[in-house]
Structure 1
Amino acid sequence: MDSIKKKNFTIITIAAVIVAILGIAVIYFVRKANQKDAEMAEIVEQMNFEKQQVEKEYSNLNQEFSGYTSNIKNDSLVKLLDNQKTKVQQLLDELRVTKSTNARRIAQLKQELATVRMVMIQYVNQIDSLNSANKMLRNENVEVHKKYQAATETVQQLSKDKESLNQVVSRASIMEVTNFSMTPLNSKGKKTGWFTQTANLQFSYTVSKNVTAQPGDKTIYLRITRPDGDVLTKSPNNVFSFENKEIAYSATKNFEFTGDAKNDVIFWKIGEILPKGMYRAEFFIDGNRVGSFSFKFEK
């Protein structure tokens, strides 16, 4: 009986030890498994983070390409940038569908990203060089434009000065008649103070000296206006040009102008009854009014 009890106790003891060992083993392996799961979760989290970073870099690079292509005018360079932009977009799309656990492909995509970025740096350098050259050209164009504008303004000013000078010369070349007087003459050519005895009107004048006026044969036109506004004339065909119009004249006289002052007279023969009142005498040479004066006819 005692031997049987002793044998059962031994068996129970051995079984307890085995159960304890198995319990310890189970705890160990469970802890080990949990540790591996934690490590795996950490690795997966790290790989997700890595994928997100690469994806972010691709997105930023894509935006940078968009920014450059919208600011340059070189068609060839724009085409190259567009090709790289398309490539980046394709790689970005692939990255988005690639599992985070595919470390090998993510590493490859990251390497391709580095390659594209190097290409982009080369393009950016070309863009900077072009921008610098364009800026220099724009500055040169601005300078050339300023010089051209200054030259144009100078030419315009010289043209205005020339025009002003021509106007001054033109005005200076207009002849002038001064020292006017009117003397009533009777039928014998003698001065008379009697209105009823007047047969002719003698107009005395001086053509002033003018070295600027063109010398040569000239014609002076006398235009006598009555108090009622009518012009004394012998024929309706007696007209001359003045300010783009044909106007009547009373008498004319040809003379040679040498540039020196010249005293002369011109006559109007009375062929009608003249009303008393204030008359006006105007003188014209070369299409210009060169002098005028008023006189009374009333005695």
Structure 2
Amino acid sequence: MENKQGYDPSEFEEDDYMTPQPDQNSIRGYRIVIIILSVILVALSALYYGIHRQQMRDNELLQADRDSIQSDLGRLMTDYDNLQISNDSISANLTIERERADSLMTRLKKERSWNLAKIKQYEKEVGTLRSIMKSYVRQIDSLNTLNKKLIKENVSYRKEISSANLRAEMAEEKAAELDNKVRIGAVLRARDISLTALNVNSREVTRVKNASRLRVDFVLAANELAEPGNKAIYVRITSPDGYVLTTEEMPTFEFEGERLSYSAMREVEYDNTKDLDVGIFYTSKGFTAGTYRIQLYCEGRLIGQAEIAMR
């Protein structure tokens, strides 16, 4: 009877078996891909966050360094303003250095592109200005101490002369001897300092921009109180823009407990009984017109300086 109604059990079971089933391997593969992509996304997000945070930290450090440099320079400018000196030569040099500090402050305030290299450059320039100021402070203190000593000794001599006329002649001779020693000193002195521009053939040129060498000429004055013998003389040439001209090796010498860079040096045989003409050469290129500052050092002392305008 079932066959008559058209029901075939075998046909129903065959249709049920042919229904499509999900591919388990494909689903597992999709899940693995999704997990890998999620891990990569998390790693990239962490990396971006770390880089962004480091950049913010670096910017904060650069800003802090900039503020520190400006603060140091401001204090240095105040220190320059507070220096009082009656010596015309030192006073003029202090004015020049104060103007350099003003110029540096202007550059600092206008600077917009900050990086580690520029921070180091500005720190070096501020350090140079501070070293120069310390040198002038020492000179001023030395002059003040010497003046106080001379005043005290002169007062003492006057009292001796007032109290004992018989000792007047001896006191005057001793005072004259002391004044003479103070004037001459026991150190070397350089005078008649000049600066000459030379081309590649060592011939003088009128325009410093055409020069390949600079020659510093001076006279090492005779001084019987100084020790004769072999002397190493260092010359520092400061360009119109305020930088000390030096070689790639950036050699230095010691001056009052600090290391100073120099442009060139020469050893000479010094006879303390007569003047000695000396010339020292500095070779480079790219010289600019303006006022050059020459400083000469020997045996840890500043023995002469001058400012020379070059066309």
Q: Which of the five TM-score ranges fits, normalised by the shorter chain? A: 0.3 to 0.5
TM-score, normalised via structure 2 length: 0.42
TM-score, normalised via structure 1 length: 0.44
